[in-house]
Structure 1
Amino acid sequence: MDNERVQKTFEQYVPNFVCRHIQKLLEQYSEKNGDNVTELTMEPFCTECFGVVVMADVSGYSKLTAKLAERGDIGARMLLNVMKNYFDQIIHIILTCQGDIVKFVGDAVIFYWKINDDNLDDISEDPTRGELVLMACDCCIKLLNQLGRFPINIQDCEITELKIHLGIGAGKIYDIHVGGKDRWEHFIGGDAMDQISTVLDLAEAGELALSHQAFRHFGNVVDVASITIGGYDKRCVIVKGLENCTRKVPPLSLDEEAAFDIFDSVPNNLNIELYKPFINPYALYKLKDDIQNCPAFGIRDDLEHLMSIYDTRQVTTVFIRVSTLKFKSIESLGVAQETMVIVQNHVRKYEGCIRQFHCDDKGALLLVFFGLPPFGHTDDAIRGVKAALSISNELADLFPEKNYTFGVTTGVIAIGGVGKSIRTEYAMMGDSINMAARLMCIDKNNKTIKPDGNVFCDEKTFNLSSVDCTFQPLGEIKVKGKDHSIPVYKALTIQEKKIELDNEGKIIGRVKEKKIIDGLIEAHLVKQTKIMIFEGEGGQGLSTLVKYTKNKAVQMNCMIW
């Protein structure tokens, strides 16, 4: 493995803010420890500043996904190919306009511009803030002009184009890091994000909507009478064009943090370890695997070609919505961190992976997958349902009102890269992911179902896990994106398999062997797993040692399969 090749690639999977945050931590450590930086301990973290946030959402994606899902594996591949081509061009324009991409949320992209501002509560007419809004508007208009209508050509498919609609919010934002040693999530929250969730819904396909807060800042640097406005009400302003835009003030030079190459400032091995926790585990696995296999298959190992390698597989998707977790102040960091740790612990136990954490005025969303390498299993649906029920039970201590819901589905999805060599990400796309998001919102859209930590599952997940879990059929329910109603099931409890515990006192002696077994089980609990092999001639008590190991593992709360 070419260490330098891998570490250079890792940097492209995280936002610029994450790179800068890691760099600052390294500088702080270096001041204390000199150049001998061998490890970096990260803590939950939150900073506040003024920012302009944009969400670009693809219209027509859900219908296209549902139609292509009928074609099975080939349909999933077609979907990813179409969306890759579209996102590649969207990302290129965003980066050209100096936007920083925060994350990809399904068929949407969140990106932003920000400045350090010591007077966040000051509502005076600061032209610097207006300059940021103008930059964001200019980027959005370019996106609409060049990619507002994206033609697609799929044989026997009635959907012939995709469109985008965009929303802009401006105000106080929080850059947040939550997680633990092996997995960290960066997301943003605050006033600007809260505005986005409102105005984006008001923008129709091919439109750009600004919150009134963003429009007020915009008016400090631009004569609003000189721009083309498509609509105006108390909720938002629809901006159609800037071709006749007249400035009130000369262009401002914004103080931006200088670009840097983090890999020139710290040891190579540490570079990789710093970025790993911010990248989805499957992306890490696939990236390394693709780089290793490039020579064998005659594929160039530059990032652009690695992004063209994709595959399909059946996975179980778990969407989690926590309605009461809204990031309104720095004090919200503690609750967000506790939520992330609870989810992490149970996802790790059942060997899944956390895809992302997202937060806005509607609450927090977490996306989890079971079945992605290197943790693929034949019982991923069972693991997904068990994890959801376990997380639901523990979240009740943190959110006693139990205003959170889960959507669990199983199906074939396509996984591959989107983006360019400056900023890229592995995307997961498929109809089952969309359906998990829809199931997660059933109690929100159906007044007969009250939010109560419910775990809603599709029929395939029910069929694959009904032996290990109990369910309540809810009948057929109409969900967005489907022409017909679908069967929905509510998961109730885990039916734990009974394991007979034999009396370990039957083992006479074997002190050394038992000590080794106990040590290996303890190591497994702290993620230092090793393979244990029992070897010996028949009649030497091997089966008794195996029973002892099983008993001991159960006593120490290890999973037995």
Structure 2
Amino acid sequence: MKKTDEASKELVAHLPDVVIEAARGLKQLPAVQKLNGVLMFLDISGFTAMCEQFSLQNHGVDELTKTLNDYLGHIEDLVLKAGGDVIEFAGDAMLIRWNAPSVEASVTAIVKAIICSRRIMKTCNNWDTEVGVKLGVKIGLSAGEVFLTYVGSKSFRLFSSSGQAVRDVNEAERYCEKGTIILAPSAWALCPERKGINVEKLEEGHIKVLNIRKTWAESELTKESPPQEQQKPKALGGFPSLRQLNLKNVHKHDLRPFIAAPVLHKVDENQPMEYLCEMRDVTVVFINLSLDHGHDHGRSLQGVYDKISTSVVQFQGVINKIFEFDKGTSFLVLFGLPGFKHEDEVGHALQCSSQITTTVNDMIEVRQVSVGVTTGKVFCGVVGHPERHEYTVIGPKVNMAARLMMNYPGKLSCDEETRTRSYLEAAHFHDLPEIKLKGMDNPGPISEYIDSAVGKDHSIPEAKHALLGYTPEFLDALNTLEKVCSSSSDYRHPLFLVVEGEPGVGKTRFLRAVIDAAIKNDMRIACSRPTVSSTSNPYTTACYLITELLELADIPSPQEREQILEERYGGTEMYNSLSLLNNLLGIQLSAHESVASLSPAGRTKSLQRLLGRIVRDTQLDTNTATLIAIDDAQYIDKDSWAYLRFFAGYSCLFVLGMGELRKGAESEAVEGREKILNSPLCIHVKLDGLESINMEPLLCQLLEVASVPRELTNLLGSRLAGKINPSWVKQCVSNLLHHQLLEINTKGKQPHCNVAEGVRLIDLEIPASLSGCMIAFIDRLPAAEGTAVKIASIIGASFNNAVLSHLMPLTPAHKVLESIGGLISAGVFIYENGLLRFQSATLQETAYGLLVEKQRRKLHERYAIYLEQRYLGFSKKKKKRCSA
């Protein structure tokens, strides 16, 4: 079978039949598809407890994945054989539909659904698992109209189910207990031969199915079409066998927008879906919306999606699903999935949720927004049947986020772990009253997050200690400062100094050192630290810099700002142009006739000239050069990028601390940014990490002591070998202090650090925060290099190119060499004496932890075969030669 067919098969398996058939015809969004049919709402009990027990009992992810797939696969096998279409997965619940375009077809469909439900109950209720948790099911059935609403964009699409049949099946499920089948009145009305079905009548017309005769409704089933294999043509090598789909006119590009990004990455890399199955630290965000039904539902949902998607992309999260068949309209958003892992994801999840709450609440179609946020290990992976499965997240933290969302209406609530790991100021959080959460024995303290509680601090933190390392880079920066300070009007000095490097290498600390040097040179300083939320707010950075230069930052009143500007510039030619700053400064100066007559293009040019004049004019007060320092410059909004170069000029230098550009950064931002970054007047300084000789002084600075034990220096030197990332070291030290493995002795003239009595640092486990940083680092690598790192992690201390090529048989040898070269450049591998090795033992451990047990076994077996062929085979030949 062709590779393209295999990829298409995988895409098809992630989507319901009805979406596959509709995908090609979806030209405009939103789109609403009206259907008739019978619905099954299947809710599984025990899933969360089982996942928790697998983790507590140290079972591997492989075992959990196998249990999930065995159970869900069995249920889905019965559903697919009965002609059902799995519309939606919701963690521990499924929504299934039988197509029924006519009343007669509806009768046949309800018979199929009831018989299927009975078979599921017989084989899947009280299902034993390896950890002692029994899984059970409860099923609700309804019939009637179903609406599938499609929302999204050209590149990413979602769908949700709604309508009377959905409301009916949701209501029926509320009457369910484990092991029961409940029919909504709409489903009971279709049941034929009622004498053959034993039921119990419940409230409001709901029916509990107790038993059915073996021959019940046989006449309905005989009305079916000819046998399955004759019904519809098949495509892609005969796939699928149970799902009867005509895939002749289905194209991959129509299906890809519906598929989760982590799945697409694996499909594109031609890797099995099992590589996605892992217990992973994730921040889970559940957003519940109370919509006004007086508006068009499709347009309302698209409008909500647009606002949520804008924020989620901006903060580097992923929208996983929309649910409307349970708990109203809810969005599930995830932070920390493969390919989207970053160090600030927990804080970003809260900031993103706050931004969503604000923007969505402003919509007239939305009455209330409730958000629940949790952080912790959850199962992430593809689960289900070989022919129908989905990428999902399962675990107590997922359930808890949903519980918070529903139990704290109108609030942005979060658990203690989210609050702690966000590293946001305590003033952002307010304690919420304790509420009993279903299925949660001890959820811990719950907090409300309020983004506006604390004003933004734009300053670059002052340093207590001297800058360590980076001597050549710092000398380059000092040389640039001297050129700026000594420049004359006919000398073009550099306008921008860009400090680049991986997260945590010390860009902020380097910026602070440059600022301190500028202060010694009597330069005027203006600082800014845009945040990820700044990227979507036009002119945020430019506006702040103007208020700093004009000394208006601490004056919020528009009237006072106008008065200060009039006192300073009144009667001058420059004053006539100040109305161009009205939008940026929030003032309302009258436009001079020379400004009022300008075209839009003319206003833009005049504003650009004005910005340069403001910088020069404010320099006249002190007769000194100006340094503008911007940390986290990757978050500068696109409009500010377009204006920054007009600030820079005579005796003015920008110093930018530049992190990695986020995924999905607006294309419009590139033009203004690239003009600056590629300018001959822009100097780039790359920070790769500190040399190993700096480990001991770094530890002394972090612990604020005069000396540290050699054992600690040696341990971290081996665990974090190669170039030192100060942030990683800080997290290790914080973890050791938190667990009281280190002690600070303040006796004597100077404090010093000791290892706590009875502690063996060699047994140190990788802190979750450091592990997250390293996973983020691996995720940022190109796909081929990331795979090579994980595979190489199973080898010993050192290895050669041939070993890695043998362990990657599907990758051409030259591609393996390219990946190795990239990993050496990235500081992951080091080449010594003809062999490769990991620079960091901790990074190797982290990469190894990302492999599931099944993958490890395969790789270890392949490595053992290589060793046998390479060494034992050679020895046997040599022995034969000797005996001859």
Name the TM tier (shorter chain). 0.7 to 0.9
Moved more, 313-322 or 235-244: 235-244
2:381 to 372, 394, 416: 416
CA deviation string 1:445-474 (max 9, x = no partner): xxxxxx33x110000110122526811112
Which stretches in structure 2 are left out of the alignment for 5+ residues?
236-245, 459-526, 529-544, 546-627, 629-643, 651-657, 686-884
Aligned runs of 1:98-497 on 2, under 5 Å?
A: 98-117=83-102, 126-154=103-131, 159-218=132-191, 222-247=192-217, 250=220, 251-253=222-224, 258=232, 261=235, 264-265=248-249, 271-289=251-269, 291-292=270-271, 306-307=273-274, 310-324=277-291, 331-360=296-325, 362-399=327-364, 402-443=367-408, 451-452=409-410, 454-467=411-424, 470-474=428-432, 476-493=434-451, 496=456
Please, which runs of 5 or more residues in structure 1 have no aligned partner? 26-40, 118-125, 293-300, 444-450, 510-516, 545-561
CA 1:4–1:248 in 2, change beyond 3 Å: closer, same or farther? closer
Q: Tell me: CA distance 1:384–1:308, structure 2 relative to 1, closer, same or farther (3 Å).
A: closer
Q: Retained in 2: the 8 A contact 1:79–1:430? A: no
CA drift at 1:226? 1.3
Shift of 1:485: 4.7
- How far apart are residue 245 of structure 1 and its match? 4.7
Q: 1:249 to 1:529 in 2, by over 3 A?
A: farther
Q: Is the 8 A contact 1:69 1:430 kept in 2?
A: no
Shift of 1:392: 0.5
Residues 49 and 396, structure 2, Cα contact 8 Å, conserved in 1: no
Q: Which residue of 1 aligns with 2:41?
A: 55
SS of the residue 1:228 aligns to = strand
Q: Is the 8 A contact 1:80 1:429 kept in 2?
A: no
The CA distance in 1 between the partners of 2:203 and 2:668, in whole Å, is 55
Q: Please give the per-residue CA displacement for 1:7-44, whole angstroms capped at 9, x wherever unaligned.
A: 2321111111111112445xxxxxxxxxxxxxxx4422
Provide, for residues 75-130 of structure 1, a one-character-per-residue CA deviation record: whole Å limited to 9, x for no partner. Answer: 7665444322211111111111110111110101111012335xxxxxxxx33322
Q: CA deviation at 1:399?
A: 4.7
Distance 1:273 1:200 in 2: 37
Conserved 8 A contact 1:325-1:363 = no
The share of aligned pairs that are identical, in percent, is 23
Structure with max Cα Rg: 2
Residues 98/248 of structure 1: CA separation in 2 closer, same or farther (3 Å cut):
closer
Greater length-normalized contact order (CA 8 Å, ≥ 6 residues apart): 1
Indicate the SS of the match to 1:410: strand
Which secondary structure does the structure 1 equivalent of 2:29 belong to?
A: coil
Letter in 2 for 1:224: R
Does the CA-based 8 Å contact 1:176-1:333 persist in structure 2?
yes
CA contact (8 A) 2:40 2:97 kept: yes
Aligned to 1:526: 667
1:362 Cα deviation (Å)?
4.3
Alignment RMSD (CA, Å): 3.5
Letter of the 2:105 counterpart = T
Q: How many angstroms does 1:215 deviate by?
A: 0.3
**Number of residue equivalences:** 476
Matches of 1:421 and 1:160 in 2, distance apart? 24
Q: Measure, in 2, the Cα distance between the counterparts of 1:349 and 1:385.
A: 13
Shift in CA distance, 400/140, structure 1 to aligned 2, threshold 3 Å: closer
Q: Secondary structure at the match of 1:144?
A: helix
Matches within 5 A, 1:509-524: 524=665
State how far apart, in whole Å, the 2-side matches of 1:171 and 1:388 are: 36
CA distance, structure 2, for counterparts of residue 47 and residue 541 of structure 1: 54
The alpha carbon displacement at 1:534 in A equals 5.3
Q: Secondary structure at the match of 1:138?
A: helix
Report the CA distance shift for 1:19/1:378 in structure 2 as closer, same or farther (over 3 A): same
**Structure 1 residues 11, 527: closer, same or farther in 2, change over 3 A?**
farther
CA drift of 1:173 comes to: 0.9
Q: Could you say if the C-alpha distance between residues 89 and 361 of structure 1 is closer, same or farther in structure 2, counting changes exceeding 3 Å?
A: closer
Paired residue secondary structure (1:205): coil
Distance apart, 1:420 and its partner CA: 2.7
2:370 touches 2:405 (CA, 8 Å); kept in 1?
A: yes
Secondary structure of the equivalent of 1:441?
helix
- Check the 8 A contact 2:73/2:386 in 1, yes or no: no
Aligned-pair CA distance for 1:526? 3.4
- 1:62–1:102 CA distance, 2 compared to 1 (3 A): same
Counterpart CA distance in 2 for 1:506 and 1:319 is 42
1:161 and 1:198 map into 2 onto residues whose CA distance is: 25
Rate the CA distance shift 1:397–1:77 in 2: closer, same or farther, 3 A: farther
Is the contact between residue 36 and residue 101 of structure 2 (CA under 8 Å) also seen in structure 1? yes
1:40-94, CA deviations, whole angstroms, 9 ceiling, x for partnerless residues? x4422112122111011111223334445545x7576654443222111111111
Q: Provide the C-alpha distance between the structure 1 equivalents of 2:300 and 2:290, rounded to a whole number of angstroms.
A: 13
**Residue 82 of structure 2 aligns with which residue?**
97
Letter in 2 for 1:374: G
Partner of residue 46, structure 1: 32
- Residue 246 of structure 1, CA deviation: 3.9
SS at match of 1:403: strand
8 A Cα contact 2:300 2:365, kept in partner: no
Cα 1:418–1:479, aligned 2, differ >3 Å: closer, same or farther? same
Quick one: distance in 2 between partners of 1:360 and 1:506? Answer: 54
Give the 3 Å change call, closer, same or farther, for CA 527–21 of structure 1 in structure 2.
Answer: farther
TM-score for both structures, normalised by structure 1: 0.76
Deviates more, 1:89-98 or 1:1-10: 1-10
Letter in 2 for 1:14: L
Distance of 2:450 and 2:437 partners within structure 1? 21
Secondary structure of the corresponding residue to residue 85 of structure 1: helix
Structure 1 position 438, deviation (Å): 1.1
**Which segment drifts farther, 420-429 or 190-199?**
420-429
Greater share of residues in helix: 2
Sort the Cα spacing of 1:160 and 1:48 in 2 relative to 1 into closer, same or farther, 3 A: same
| 8 Å CA contact retained: 2:373, 2:414 | yes
1:260 is displaced (CA, Å) by 5.4
What is the Cα deviation at residue 182 of structure 1? 2.1
CA contact (8 A) 1:8 1:263 kept: no
**Per-residue Cα deviation, 1:321-360 (whole angstroms, up to 9, x for no partner):** 113366x99x311111111111111111111111101113
Report which stretch shifted further, 394-403 or 347-356.
Answer: 394-403
